[in-house]
Amino acid sequence: MDDNLHINWYPGHMKKTKELVRNNLKLVDVVVELLDARIPFSSKNPDIDRLAGNKPRVVILNKSDLADRDKLNKWISYYKQRGIKAIPVDTVKGVGLNKIVEECKAETKEKMDALIEKGRKERPIRIMIVGVPNVGKSSLINKLTGRKSTVTGDKPGVTKGKQWVRLKGNLELLDTPGILWPKFEDQEVALNLAFSRAIKDEVLDIETLALRLIEKLMIIEPEKLKERYKLEELGDTPIETMDMIGYKRGFIMGRKELDYTRIALTVLNEFREGKIGKITLEMPEDIKN
């Protein structure tokens, strides 16, 4: 395992997506920014603020069912203080979807009323949903259309190209693939994205990634970690805790060696599925100015 895991990942198609967003923003009335509720800061693309400019914005905190509720409320307050409505959503179960439609209508009411006053025919509200890969965009679109409208996959980068989709409630959606930025200035952000699978596991050292997640959970959620893996105490170091998890689960190969790949995949998958508990990895006060 390499203790100094360095993540730098930016496929070419994401550069094209950024250009697609920039070129099509003029067609859109409101930008819907989809974030992962467990990592609202890390899953926020810093390019979006610049690209969206003064367009009305709605923030969606997806996977809210996997996040710590108290911490989620603090993130909602954080956005409220900045004049942005943040809506907690679970795209798998369809929780919170009506609020998205309502908020898009509220954000564009002035513009639509002005068009009607000028004698223009009422037209659908045009929205664009942006977000990093694997944050749940395709699931959200499928739920909003009420049909299977886009190709979805658990792996990032499955949704490609540009398409307009009609939604319920007189909305029209310009779908774009998820975008990541050219390089991760902050490795903490990169790790959080990797923990949540916004970056493909295939391009990472999976064992070191799991070790880093264990290290983080030992600090922010030690009790949940102990409870999930039935540990009396945690180790003095992350690798000791990782070993203890391996022994407890019986992940042992020949000659009594621990199977670190199996331990790593187990911990990462159980975090992603919410089996370790409802966990939020970062808070507004962690944001570096």
Q: What is the pLDDT of residues 169-190, one digit of tens each?
A: 788 988 666 565 655 678 888 8
Q: What is the 3-state secondary structure (H, E, C) of 18-55?
A: HHHHHHHHHHCCEEEEEEECCCCCCCCCHHHHHHHCCC
Would you say 23 is a known binding-site residue? Answer: no
Would you say 63 is a known binding-site residue? Answer: yes
The tens digit of pLDDT for each residue in 246-285 reads: 999 999 998 889 999 999 999 999 999 999 999 999 999 9
DSSP bridge pairs for 150: none
The tens digit of pLDDT for each residue in 228-239 reads: 999 999 999 999
Query: How confident is residue 9, by pLDDT bands cut at 50, 70 and 90?
Result: low
Residues 102-124: what's their mean pLDDT?
88
Q: Lowest-pLDDT range, 9-13, 24-28, 119-123, 202-206?
A: 9-13
* 104, pLDDT greater than 60: yes
Long-range CB contacts for residues 13-16, cutoff 8 Å, separation at least 24: 13/157, 13/160, 13/177, 14/177, 14/178, 14/179, 14/180, 15/182
Would you say 62 is a known binding-site residue? Answer: yes
DSSP bridge pairs for 252: 258
Domain 12-175: give its CATH superfamily. P-loop containing nucleotide triphosphate hydrolases (3.40.50.300)
Helix pair 206-220, 238-249: axis angle to 10 deg:
100
For residue 80, the model assigns a pLDDT of: 93
Average pLDDT, the chain: 85
For residue 135, the model assigns a pLDDT of: 86
Would you say 31 is a known binding-site residue? Answer: no
Would you say 161 is a known binding-site residue? Answer: no
For residue 154, the model assigns a pLDDT of: 43
The tens digit of pLDDT for each residue in 210-234 reads: 999 999 999 999 999 999 999 999 9
* Percentage of residues of the chain with pLDDT beyond 90: 45
CA atoms within 13 A on the CB side of 76: 15
The tens digit of pLDDT for each residue in 59-90 reads: 999 999 999 999 999 999 999 998 888 999 99
Would you say 134 is a known binding-site residue? Answer: yes
Identify which has the larger pLDDT, 167 or 11: 167
Would you say 136 is a known binding-site residue? Answer: yes
For residue 158, the model assigns a pLDDT of: 40
Q: What is this structure's pTM?
A: 0.85
Tell me the domain boundaries of the chain: 12-175, 205-286
Residue 176 and residue 128 in contact, taking contact as beta carbons nearer than 8 Å? yes
- The CATH class given to the 205-286 domain equals mainly alpha
Would you say 178 is a known binding-site residue? Answer: yes
Would you say 42 is a known binding-site residue? Answer: no
